[in-house]
Amino acid sequence: MTNTTKQDRVLIFDTTLRDGEQSPGATMTHDEKIEIAEMLDDMGVDIIEAGFPIASEGDFKAVSEIAERSKNSRICGLARANFTDIDRCWEAIKHAEQSRIHTFIGTSELHRAIPNLTMDEMADKIHETVSHARNLCENVQWSPMDATRTEWDYLCRVVEIAIKAGATTINIPDTVGYTAPDESADLIRNLITTVPGADEVVFATHCHNDLGMATANSLAAVAGGARQIECTINGLGERAGNTALEEVVMALKTRNDIMPWHTGIDTTKIMAISRRVATVSGFPVQFNKAIVGKNAFAHESGIHQDGMLKNRENFEIMLPEDVGLSGTSLPLGKHSGRAALRDKLEHLGFDVGDNQLKDVFVRFKDLADRKKEVFDDDIIALMRTGEDAENDRLKLVTLRVACGTGGPAEATMVMSVDGENKTAICQGDGPVDAAFNAVREVHPNKAHLQLYQVHAVTEGTDAQATVSVRLEEDGNIATGQSADTDTVVASAKAYIHALNRLMVRRGKMGEGADNREINWKDVT
């Protein structure tokens, strides 16, 4: 083993399938583990901790199959400090092209009390178990669990014993996420400079995120001389999780100027594996999670969007393509400005002049005030329904519908007819029927409802519903469309839109919409 502290290559040890799976509720099936292991292998992870073979028959089988199938990565299994665990681990991993036994024991005063061992007894146990592991496998990792709360002199002593017994990697776990960056760096530096034989092994860091410092602590440990980072996809893991692979890898790639170390990870594979792990573990990624969150490369506010359109470096420090995204997203919402709206309209194929943009922008802000995110389909719906709205002679002013169990729905509607507000209160068989009855009361007509269609055109429960209504009278047909986050409002507006179109065709108003002398045309 060479002295890796002088090297600039940091090994990535992924423990999604072991520590990650220890997240309550994150259990993965056998096939899912095989699939994730293949993705890890493919993206350049150096060591995959595939499981804890003694834990269950299922874990043993998964680790064995991953070991047999791995192409590039070294496959590691976890074992407690006893021969039974270590032998079982070796059975599972021995067919891997490159294998590793990882054995551990808690060395802090608190953890020494669990098996009730004195310092000397524990030192002996470490020596005999690491030696046993090394007799089976040439690559052995040893971890003093709760290292960051272990007395430093005792830690030095047991690390030296593990090295002498044949450990090739010494992992320093911050098991309970207790350390802080300076201490993390100092601890590794102290071990490397004081423990005899330290320059013959690789030092690793394994951080938990209880105080939100796992990534910072891992990188600090690298600055202190560690050359292996233990991490998981999406930061999955016990309690608040482990160091997130995507964060340390992208931090090293992005700030190579001040952290001159690199990994072998193909970062363009990050998003795909992040999404897959989120799906199979059932742990969705929070929207604002660094690197892989839905919003990590999204800019909603007008000033940021304008800046991004002028030069993406104004607000982005990484290329979305580098993590496997197709590009930055500029989602439209209530904080967006004209620059982003115009850009979106152009992308959607709408050629708008300044005046039209002004009009659309007003309607857009109105919609955005009512809706969390305005999607492409919302914009299309907005453009479609806005066509002739200004000339409409019938307009919906307000609509309230009471509906539910125990009685008919009742709509209270105010409609403007040629500028004059008229009110109707009508019941119906459901909210849409009640609303349509109210329209008919304000504006009596004999048009027959030929088609009524609702499409939820956008995602989520605040989806924009687009409603199409087709009216027919004496063989003449007119359609109306509208979009709104409220399906009943969209329905009433679509109905009114269709009536407006019929009136435009007649070229008259005030004669009553049921005037049979009008020469109807198909206005669809």
Ligand X SMILES: CC(=O)SCCNC(=O)CCNC(=O)[C@H](O)C(C)(C)COP(=O)(O)OP(=O)(O)OC[C@H]1O[C@@H](n2cnc3c(N)ncnc32)[C@H](O)[C@@H]1OP(=O)(O)O
Q: Are 155 and 107 in contact (CB under 8 A)?
A: yes
Distance CA 119, CA 24 (A): 32
206 is an annotated ligand-binding site residue: yes
CB of 220 to ligand X, least distance (A): 20
Q: How far is the CB of 241 from ligand KIV (least distance, A)?
A: 11
Q: Residue 73 touches which of ligand KIV, ligand X, none (CB < 5 to 8 A by kind)?
A: none
Which range in 122-130, 171-179, 187-195, 317-325 contacts ligand KIV by CB under 6 A? 171-179
Minimum CB distance to ligand KIV smaller for 100 or for 344: 100
β 448-456/420-428 pair status:
unpaired
User: What is the total residue count of the chain?
Assistant: 524
User: Smaller CB distance to ligand KIV: residue 53 or 431?
Assistant: 53
What is the smallest separation between the CB atom of 104 and ligand X, expressed in angstroms? 5
Among ligand X, ligand KIV, none, partner that 143 touches (CB below 5 to 8 angstroms by kind): ligand KIV
| DSSP 8-state assignment for residue 464 | P
- Nearest to ligand KIV of 173, 333 (CB atom): 173
Minimum gap (Å) between residue 103 Cβ and ligand X: 8
Give the one residue of 173, 320, 333, 428 binding ligand KIV; rule: CB under 6 A. 173
- Output 106 or 320, the one with its CB closest to ligand X: 106
Residue (86 or 434) nearer to ligand KIV, CB: 86
Q: By rule CB under 6 A, what string of x and - marks binding of each residue 174-213 to ligand KIV? A: -x------------------------------x-x-----
Residue 244 or 447: the one with the smaller Cβ distance to ligand KIV is: 244
User: Residues 189, 224: contact at Cβ < 8 Å?
Assistant: yes
Between CA 171 and CA 270 the distance in angstroms is 25
- 206 makes contact, choosing from ligand X, ligand KIV, none, with CB < 5 to 8 Å by partner type, with ligand KIV
What does the alpha-carbon distance between residue 57 and residue 159 come to, in Å, rounded to a whole number?
A: 32
The region that residue 221 occupies, defined by phi over 0 for left and psi between -120 and 50 for alpha, beta otherwise, is alpha
Nearest position to ligand KIV, beta carbon? 173
User: Of ligand KIV, ligand X, none, which one sits near residue 114, judging by CB under 5 to 8 A according to partner kind?
Assistant: ligand X
Say whether 12 sits in a helix, a strand or coil. strand
From the list ligand X, ligand KIV, none, partner contacted by residue 90 (C-beta under 5 to 8 A by kind): none
Burial class (CB within 10 angstroms; exposed 0-12, middle 13-18, buried 19+) of 378: buried
Q: Answer yes or no: is 208 a known binding residue.
A: yes
Q: DSSP characters for 195-258?
A: STTGGGSEEEEEEB-TTS-HHHHHHHHHHHT--EEEEBGGG--STT-B-BHHHHHHHHHHTTTT
Kindly state the number of chain residues that form the binding site for ligand KIV, as judged by CB under 6 A: 9
Q: Looking at beta carbons only, is 55 or 318 nearer to ligand X?
A: 55
CB atoms within 10 A of CB 512: 12
User: Which value, to the nearest 10 degrees, does the dihedral of the CA atoms of residues 14, 15, 17, 18 take?
Assistant: 160
Tell me the angle at which helices 181-194 and 214-224 cross, rounded to the nearest 10 degrees: 30
Q: Which two tokens stand for residue 426?
A: 């009508």
Site for ligand KIV in 66-105 (CB under 6 A): 104
Ranges within 140-169 binding ligand KIV (CB under 6 A): 143, 145
Q: How far apart are CA 330 and CA 299, in angstroms?
A: 5
Per-residue contact flags (x/-) with ligand KIV for residues 102 to 131, judged by CB under 6 A: --x---------------------------
Q: At its nearest, how many Å lie between ligand KIV and the CB of residue 53?
A: 14
**Any known ligand binding at 120?**
no
Q: How many whole angstroms separate alpha carbon 449 and alpha carbon 452?
A: 7
Is position 49 an interface residue for ligand KIV (rule: CB under 6 A)?
A: no
Would you say 19 or 46 has its CB closer to ligand KIV? Answer: 19
What does the binding site for ligand X look like in residue numbers (CB under 6 A)? 19, 22, 52, 54-55, 80-82, 104-105, 114-115, 145, 175, 238
Roughly what angle, to the nearest 10 degrees, separates helices 181-194 and 152-164?
A: 50
Residue 231 bridge partners (DSSP): 14
| Cβ neighbours, 10 Å, residue 505 | 16
List, in sequence order, every residue forming a beta bridge with 518; answer none if it has no partner: none
C-alpha angle 320-231-256 in degrees, rounded to nearest 5: 50
Contacts with 521 (C-beta within 8 Å, 6 or more apart), sequence order: 476, 505
Nearer CB in complex with ligand X: 232/445: 232
Task: Answer for the pair 510, 418: CB distance below 8 angstroms, yes or no.
Answer: yes
The option from ligand X, ligand KIV, none interacting with 80 (CB < 5 to 8 A, set by class) reads ligand X
Residue of 14, 16, 19, 491 interacting with ligand KIV (CB under 6 A): 19
Q: Please, which residue, 173 or 302, has the CB nearer to ligand KIV?
A: 173
Has 242 been labeled as part of a binding site?
A: yes
Residue positions forming the annotated binding site for Mn(2+): 19, 206, 208, 242
Residue positions forming the annotated binding site: 19, 206, 208, 242
Residues that bind ligand KIV (CB under 6 A): 19, 104, 143, 145, 171, 173, 175, 206, 208
